[in-house]
Amino acid sequence: MKRFPVLIAAALLCCQQLAAAQTLLIRDARVHTMTAAGVQAEQDVLLRDGRIEAIGRGLETPAGAEVIDAAGRPLTPALFAGITALGLNEVNMVSSSVDSGVTQTGSPEMRPEFSVIPAYNPHSSLIPVTRIEGFGFSVLGALASGSIIGGQGQAVRLDGGYDSLVGEPLLFVALGEGAAELAGGSRAAQWMLLEQAVGESRSAPRAGDSNLLTREGRAVMKEFLRNGTIVFSVNRASDILQVLQFAERHGFKAVIEGGAEAWIVAAELAAAEVPVLLDPLLNLPYNFDLLGARMDNAALLQAAGVTISFSGAGTHHARKQRQLAGVAAANGLDQDAALAALTINPARIFGLPGGRIEVGAPADLVIWSGDPLEVSEFADQVILGGKLQSMESRQTRLRDRYLVRDPKLPRAYLH
């Protein structure tokens, strides 16, 4: 009988330790707030219960708080890894490990009701590989495989939790040369099919009709047109203009992903308040949709007033998004704007709560060894939801296992 008070006391002690672990104090950081406050040097940042509680100099250390000395190093919001299949695809050449798209599920062929979210695996080996490089968020995209409408995805915090989804679902549509074969081989047919799908979503199915959408698909399409965000993967300027007209005609929020020729229609994008997620490395016309690609695309869009972010590093190389931002900065984009494109801009584009460092904001932060846009610098510590994240991944374990300890010894003695 005396065991129960002991167990209760142990449980209370454990709870107290967990509560204390949720309080962190970062001292002497160079804080990139991503707000009107700009960059603030020599700042302390207090994190409690997953939120930023206080920012200032000489903050008092709460009882039980863990203190991290940033020693003047940069502190930024956790970065955005772009549109990926993190947690959906493990090995692209192994079809059983790929869940980011649906090829064909019978007739009708368009399935906007398809969602990649139920397949999300927060314990994918790719997530720690990305996270330890300073990335805290990604948007899970639905690959257009069976039709130009890929299906639904959503933003996710890369903290390894099953409850990591944030924001609202997004619908993904692929257009242009790469998706033409999904519409009978014609770019014009893509718009014919989209308009037909819109028409079907606004009417009840009739017996004998040849339909593109199921009953569930009609309801989903109708909801996105009324109160949703549709992400269009598109590059050619003329196709981008068609997206703007389509969005205005039907009244939904559009996002451009790709946008290699977006600079040509920058004024129209700015006027329509349509953001662009671009790849700053695109500068060679390896297909006819990229004839106008140029490496200062980001700078030109930013100057025109278009909200920009980056996407294009892919799933297995999502950690290289920092390099994309650095390339954009090297080709005319202001450095602060480049960092904003990795933090506050995607938060605004997708309606996420993070992307900034201010009181009340989510405690999703990164302490860097130096300038986050320099390829030679690295993330010293990632904090998501106010919790210190492990800075270990499958790759770091392999590195440590096979790292040469003493190259002077014969090969048989190397660890």
What band does 8 get if pLDDT is binned at 50, 70 and 90? very low
| Domain 1-78+356-415 annotated CATH 2.30.40.10 | yes
pLDDT tens per residue, range 68-88: 999 999 999 999 999 999 988
Top-confidence range, 91-95, 277-281, 285-289: 277-281
pLDDT tens per residue, range 155-179: 999 999 999 999 999 999 999 998 8
Alpha carbon 311 to its chain's center:
8
Phi, psi (degrees; rounded to nearest 5) at 264: -65, -35
Give the mean pLDDT of 370-396.
Answer: 95
What band does 3 get if pLDDT is binned at 50, 70 and 90? very low
Say whether the peptide bond before residue 62 is cis (omega within 30 degrees of 0). no
What are the residue ranges spanned by the domains of the chain? Answer: 1-78+356-415, 80-354
What band does 19 get if pLDDT is binned at 50, 70 and 90? very low
- CATH code of the region 80-354: 3.20.20.140
Of residues 21 and 370, more confidence is placed in 370
3-state secondary structure of 55: strand
- Residues 152, 115: Cα–Cα separation, whole Å: 4
Residue for token digits 């770091």?
Answer: 396
DSSP symbols for 194-258: HHHHHHHHTS---TT---SS-HHHHHHHHHHHHH-EEEEEE--HHHHHHHHHHHHHHT-EEEEEE
pTM above 0.85, yes or no: yes
- Residues 367, 378: Cα–Cα separation, whole Å: 9
What band does 412 get if pLDDT is binned at 50, 70 and 90? low
